[in-house]
Chains A and B, each alone.
Chain A
Amino acid sequence: MKKLKKTKAAIFHYAGLLLVSLFVLLPYYWMIVTSIKPKEEVMLSPPTLIPSAIDLSNYIEVWKTLPLAKYLQNSLFVAGMTTIIGVVLAVLCGYSLSRYAYKKLQKGTTILMLCTQLIPSVLPMISLYFIMYKLDLANTYIGLIIAYSVWAIPFCTLMMKSYFTTTIPHELEESATIDGCSKFGTFLRICLPISIPGVVATAIFAFILAWNDYMWASIMLSNNDLKPVSVGIYDYVGQFGGNANLALTMTTAVIVTIPAIILFAFLQKYLISGLAAGAVKG
C-alpha cells in the first residue's frame, strides 16, 4: 500500500513538473527550432512544428549581420560593473543598517529604501537623462552603470540587512571588538566571509536587473558601439515595426538567452540559500 502511494505521489510530482516545463520551455523550443530550420521553411504558414532538416547557417550569418559579439561584451561589462558597484554599496549600507538599526539615521535610511521601491522607473527618466547629459554622461557606460546600480540598491540593501541581522550573532562581533578590531575590520574580516551566500544572491539580482534593462539603455545610448544585447535585438526591427528577418532574430535570441540560462543553472543553489537567510527570515 505504501509503495503504491509513493509511486502515485512520484507520478503526480513528475507529471506536474513536466506540464509546467512545457509551458516554460515552449518559447525556447520555438526559438531554437526557428533558428535551425532551412530558409524556405521559416516563413511557412501554418508552420512546421519540427524542422524537416537542420540548417545551422544562421548561426554563422548572425555574427556577420550584427556586431553581436560587441553587444554581448557591452552587456557583460555593464552588468558586471553594476553588480560590483551595486553589491559593494548594498553590503556596506546593509551592514550599517543591520548593526545600528536603533539609530535615527539608519531608521530613516531604511524607510528611504522601502519608499524608493514604489517609484515606477518611468517617472524619473526624463529628468535623470538631462542630469546625466549635463554631467556629460549621456551615451556612456558610466551613465548606464550608475543608474542600474542605484536601482538595484534598495532591494539588495534590504536583503543584506536581513541577512546580517539573522545570521551574524552579536557575540562574534563583541569578541572581535574586545580583541581591538576596528568596526570596519570586524565587518571585513569576520562578518563578510560568512555572508557570502547572501552576497551572491544580491549579486545575481543586480546582474539580472542590468542585463535585462531595455528602456534606459535605449534612451541613453546613441552610439552603436555601446549598445547592450537587450537593445541590440531591435536591430532587426524595421521602420514600421515589422520584423525584418525572423530566422536571424530567433538565432540572436538563442545566443543571448541560452548561455545565461546555463550559467544560472549553476548559480541557483547559492541564490536560494542566500535568499533563504536574507530575504526570507527578515
Chain B
Amino acid sequence: MEKMRKIVGIMMILALSVSLIACGSQEKKENGSEDSQEVEITFWMQKYGSDPSVQDKLMQELTADFKEKTGITVKYSIIDWDSALTKYTLACTGGEAPDVADIFFTSSLAAMSNEGCGPMEINDVVAEMGGDETWYQAGKDEANINGDWYGIPWRFDTRVLLYNTEDFEEAGLEVPETWDDLIKVGKALTKVDEKGNITHAGLAWYAGMSRFDQTWFTLLAQAGGELMNDDFSEFIFDSPEGEESLRFLVDCINKEKICASSVDASYDAVSEFMAGNVSMVYGVTGETKTSIENQAPQLNGKFASAVLPNKSGEGVSSIAFSAPISIFKSTQNVEASKEWVKYFCSEEVQLKVSQELALLNSNINVMEDSYFTEDEWLNTFVAQSARSQSGDMPIPEWSQIDAWPDGPIPAMCNKVVAGEDIIKSLDEGAKGANDLIQE
C-alpha cells in the first residue's frame, strides 16, 4: 500500500512538474510576442525535402532576414501533407486560418470558402512583381480563377525519367525517346527467373502507396491526349488517347513484363530503385536525387535523369504542377502579408528556397539561373518544363475527382492496374468525373 502510494505520488509530481515547465515555456513565447508592439503574421507551408531540419533552418533564416528588413515577425508552421487539405478546408470554412499559406487546389478552396475566408485576390501584387508572364503556364493556370490572380506561383513540379547509368552502360543502351524505345530498353534490362517472375525490372512507374493517377496523366500527355476540353467544362479523357495510355500503363506490367509496379501499398518505386531492383523509374520529382544520396549512398554517381519519352519522340512528354502562395481573406494584416508574399516569392529568395528544398520553380527567371541550367540533374527538369502540360485542372471539383484513393480518376487507374477491363474502367472514370462537375 505504502509503496503504491509513493509511486503514484511521485508520478503525479512528475506529471505536474512537466506540465508546469511546458506551460512556462509556452507562456514565455506568448508574452514575448505580446510585449513588443510589432506586427506578426502566420505562414503555413507543407513539408518539403527529405530532411525536416533543413526546411526548418531555412525558414528561420528567411524569417529572421525578413524581420530585419521590414520589422514584421513571421511565425511559420510546417504542415504534414496528410492533414494539409483538411487544415485548409477548415481554414476556409471558418476554422483557424493563417495569414499567408502555401496552398493547392486553389479553385476548390476558393469555391468552398465562407464569406470573408479563403484565398484573396492579389492582382496588385502580381503587377508589382512583373506581371503575367513571369511564371510558367501551369503556374498561371493554378493561381488564376476567372482571370484574377489568387496567389503567386512558387514551387514547380515536373516529372522526368530516373535511370541507373551503370545498368545502361553494361547493356550498351541509350536513353529511350519513344514508347517503342522504352519497351525495347525495358526488355533488355529486365531479368526473369525460370518461372517467369521478374527478378529485376527494367521499369517502375513512380508510385508510392499504389497511386497511379499522376503516372497516367503523364502517359496521357505523351499519347497526345487531354484530360479536359479547352474551357474546362467537360472531361474528355475517354478518348482513343485515354485508352491507349491506360493500355500502355498496364501492358508494361502484364504484357511486355518490363514493369514491376502493383497496387501493393508497401511498394515504393524509388525504394526499389535504391535497392537495385529496378533500372528506370518513370516520372520522378526533383528532390529524388537528394533522397537517393541520403538513403542509398552506394548509388552515388550511378544514376541520372532524362527527359521522358513519349509516343512520337517529340512534343509534350510530361505533366507539370504548380502551387501558389496565397493570402487569406481572414487576415488582420493585409499589408504585412503582402510584404511577406513579395519577399518570399522574390527571385532571390525563391532561388534559395529551390536550392535548399530541392524544388523547381514556377518563376521563369529563376529557372534560367545557372544553378538549374548548369546542373546535370536539374537541367533535365528545365528542358522537361518546356515539354509539359498541366497536371491539375483548375476547377473546384478537382480535389474530389483526383482524391486519393477514392476519386474517380485514381480509382480508375487502380482498377486497371489490378486487371479490370480498360474500356469499362475508362468509361466509368470519365462518367464519375463528369458527374461530379454536373452536380
Chain A interface residues (CB < 8 Å from chain B) = 39-40, 42-45, 64-67, 73-74, 76-77, 80-81, 83-84, 129-130, 133, 138-139, 141, 193-194, 196-197, 199-200, 203, 218-219, 222-225, 231, 234-247, 270
Report Cα–Cα, A234/B53, bound state, in Å: 14
Chain B contacts of A141 at CB under 8 A?
A: 22, 26
Find out whether the CB atom of A222 lies under 8 angstroms from the CB atom of B4.
no
Q: Does B52 contact A (CB under 8 A)?
A: yes
Contact B77 A40 (CB under 8 A): no
Point out the residue from A42, A139, A219 that lies within 8 Å of B295, measured CB to CB.
A42
**Is residue B431 within 8 Å, beta carbon to beta carbon, of the partner chain?**
no
Q: Are A234 and B96 within 8 A (Cβ)? A: no
A-B contact sample (14 more), CB < 8 A, given A237-B81, A243-B208, A270-B7: A39-B297, A40-B296, A43-B295, A45-B276, A65-B52, A200-B8, A203-B11, A222-B79, A225-B26, A235-B47, A239-B46, A240-B209, A241-B81, A243-B268
19 CB < 8 A contacts A-B: A43-B275, A43-B295, A43-B296, A80-B19, A129-B90, A138-B95, A193-B1, A218-B80, A219-B90, A222-B77, A222-B96, A235-B52, A235-B80, A237-B80, A239-B47, A240-B208, A242-B268, A242-B271, A243-B271
B-chain residues with CB within 8 Å of residue A81 when the two chains form the complex? 15, 19
Judged by a CB distance under 8 angstroms, whether B277 is at the interface is yes
Q: With A43-B275, A193-B5, A240-B209 given, is the CB distance from A222 to B98 under 8 Å?
A: yes
A139 partner residues in chain B, CB cutoff 8 A: 96
Asked if B270 is at the interface of the complex by the 8 Å CB criterion, the answer is yes
- Does B18 make an interface contact (CB < 8 A)? yes
Of residues 1 through 30 on chain B, the ones whose CB sits less than 8 Å from some CB of chain A are 1, 4-5, 7-8, 11-12, 14-16, 18-19, 21-22, 26, 29
A-B interface, 5 closest residue pairs, ranked by CB to CB distance from nearest: A242-B208, A45-B275, A80-B15, A241-B209, A43-B274
Q: Are the C-beta atoms of A246 and B19 separated by less than 8 Å?
A: no
Q: For the complex, what is the distance from the CA of A64 to the CA of B51, rounded to whole Å? A: 9
Q: List the A residue with the shortest CB-CB distance to B272.
A: A45
Query: What mask results when residues 263 to 299 of chain B are scored 1 for a CB within 8 Å of chain A, else 0?
Result: 0000010111011110000000000000100111110
Chief secondary structure at chain A's binding surface? helix
Across the interface, do B18 and A76 meet the contact criterion of CB distance under 8 Å? yes
B291 touches A244 (CB 8 A): yes
CA gap between A77 and B382 in the complex, in Å:
48
Closest to B4 in A: A196
Q: A43-B275, A129-B90, A197-B4 are in contact. Are A241 and B18 (CB under 8 A)?
A: no
Say whether B87 faces chain A, with CB atoms less than 8 Å apart: yes
- A269 to B, closest residue via Cβ: B4
Cβ-defined contact, A219 with B80, below 8 A = no
B178 on the A face (CB < 8 A): no
By the criterion CB–CB under 8 Å, are B53 and A239 in contact? no
Q: A40-B297, A42-B295 are in contact. Are A130 and B95 (CB under 8 A)?
A: yes
Q: B22 → chain A, closest Cβ, in Å?
A: 4
Say how far A90's CB is from chain B's closest CB, in angstroms: 15
Residues in A whose Cβ lies below 8 Å from that of B387: none
CA distance A239 to B270 in the complex (A): 14
Q: Are A219 and B275 in contact (CB under 8 A)?
A: no
Contact between B96 and A77, CB atoms less than 8 A apart: no
B94 proximal to A (CB < 8 A): yes
In chain B, positions 25-66 with a C-beta closer than 8 Å to chain A are 26, 29, 44, 46-48, 50-53, 56
Interface hub of A42, A77, A133, A242 (most chain B Cβ within 10 A):
A242
Q: Does B82 contact A (CB under 8 A)?
A: yes
B304 is an interface residue with CB less than 8 A from chain A: no
B399 CB to nearest chain A CB (Å): 15
Q: Kindly identify which residue among A39, A42, A65, A73 contacts B22, using a CB–CB cutoff of 8 Å.
A: A73
Q: What CA separation (Å) do A148 and B283 show in the bound complex?
A: 43
Complex: A246 Cα to B90 Cα, angstroms? 31
CB of B83 closer than 8 Å to a CB of A: yes
Contacting pair A219 B5 (CB below 8 A): no
**CA distance in complex: A4, B85 (Å):** 65
Please, which residue of chain B has its CB at the minimum distance from the CB of A215? B83
The chain A residue sitting closest to B294, CB to CB, is A245
Whether A77 and B18, one on each chain, are in contact in the complex, defined by CB atoms closer than 8 angstroms, is yes
Q: Is the CB of A196 within 8 A of B8?
A: yes
**Bound complex: CA A76 to CA B214 (Å):** 40
Is the C-beta of B86 less than 8 angstroms from some C-beta in chain A? yes
Q: Which residues of A contact B298 (CB under 8 A)?
A: 40
Is B140 close to A, CB under 8 A?
no
B78 at the A interface (CB under 8 A):
yes
Residue of B nearest to A82 (CB): B15
Q: Does B211 contact A (CB under 8 A)?
A: yes
Which B residues lie within 8 Å of A245 (CB)?
Answer: 50-51, 291, 294-295
Judge whether B53 and A66 touch: CB under 8 Å: yes
Cβ A244 vs Cβ B96 within 8 A:
no
Question: Which residues of the partner chain B approach A222 to less than 8 Å between Cβ atoms?
Answer: 44, 77, 79, 87, 96, 98
Chain A residues near B77: list those with CB within 8 A.
Answer: 222-224
B103 to chain A, nearest CB (A): 13
B268 contacts A234, C-beta separation under 8 Å: no
Contact of A238 among B19, B47, B95, B276 (CB under 8 A): B47
Report whether A242 and B209 are in contact in the complex, using a CB–CB cutoff of 8 Å: yes
Q: Which residues of B contact A66 (CB under 8 A)?
A: 52-53
Residues in chain A near residue B44, CB distance under 8 A:
222
CA distance A246 to B78 in the complex (A): 20
Determine the chain B residues whose CB is within 8 A of the CB of A73 once the complex forms. 18, 21-22
Minimum CB–CB distance for A159 against chain B, Å: 16
What residues of A have a CB within 8 angstroms of the CB of B82 in the complex?
Answer: 218, 234, 237
- Enumerate chain B residues within 8 angstroms of A42, measured Cβ to Cβ: 295-296
Q: Which residue of B has the minimal Cβ distance to A66?
A: B52
A77: which B residues are within 8 A, CB to CB? 18-19, 22
Chain A nearest CB from B172 CB (Å) reads 25
Complexed CA–CA distance, A67 and B78 (Å): 12
Within 8 A of A (CB), among B293-351: 294-298
Q: Name the residue of chain A whose CB is nearest to the CB of B53.
A: A65
Query: A263's closest neighbor in chain B, by CB?
Result: B11
Task: Give bound CA distance, A24 to B429, whole Å.
Answer: 42
Q: How far is the CA of A81 from the CA of B23 in the complex (A)?
A: 11
Specify which chain A residues have a CB less than 8 angstroms from the CB of B14 in the assembled complex: 80
What B residues does A241 contact at CB under 8 A? 81, 208-209, 211
Q: Which residue of B lies closest to A63 (CB)?
A: B53
* Residues B87 and A242 in contact, CB atoms below 8 Å apart: no
A238 and B90 contact, Cβ closer than 8 Å, known pairs A43-B295, A45-B276, A133-B96: no
**A67 CB contacts on chain B under 8 angstroms:** 56
Q: Determine the distance from Cα of A133 to Cα of B12 in the docked complex, in whole angstroms.
A: 30
